Structure 1
């Protein structure tokens, strides 16, 4: 009788672990398109995205590159210090969007231009998304923000 209970307990544990592994795998499979890390311009140039692929592009807005077109259309360049990618965006830009500032955009590549559907800008004068900061450090162009004297 004890042997039967022990066998039954082991069977239940094995089935529970199998169900847990299966559910984890299914959740990961379902989220594979939802997990959307950004790419630096150098990564986009080195490994171009497939046609129609939606991805996030992150870097600094290149100085002197912002051009306001018809209506709400804005074009500018995003750089990571190594490569530069032209960006086109139709919509209202965040208030803190400006040259030499960090940004991350979501969109697709069309004929060599990143067509953004969403633009996120930095939050304050010292904030930079961690991914952008890491990419800039990797490229050797990251500059620490000026520390306030105090």
Structure 2
């Protein structure tokens, strides 16, 4: 991926929903169609098993898909997704990666994954179809 500037990181985070749990996102790499970030999963998003709630896993994946598509310079929303939950983990640091395999006039297909930052083991993966709304304003 290309060099990540502070300006690009700020621009990518502009589209992140204003949830307290997402404030800790640290973008480590980005390019048009791709992004990588890390986050310390807060205990507030754990389920009654003491592991990350599936809804929060899905949020992390969709944020990555949106950032990767946003890095093309287009506003976007999720149109469809398919998610596989592989490994349950608790409140720990995770690395989230997204990479587009297709960008057309109206859609992009983005493959995303979450890995444990400490071990690299796969936590979840998803494929998103993103609807392209048009150039950024």
- TM-score computed with the length of structure 1 as normaliser: 0.30
Higher helix share: 1
Look at both structures and tell me which one has the larger radius of gyration over its CA atoms: 1
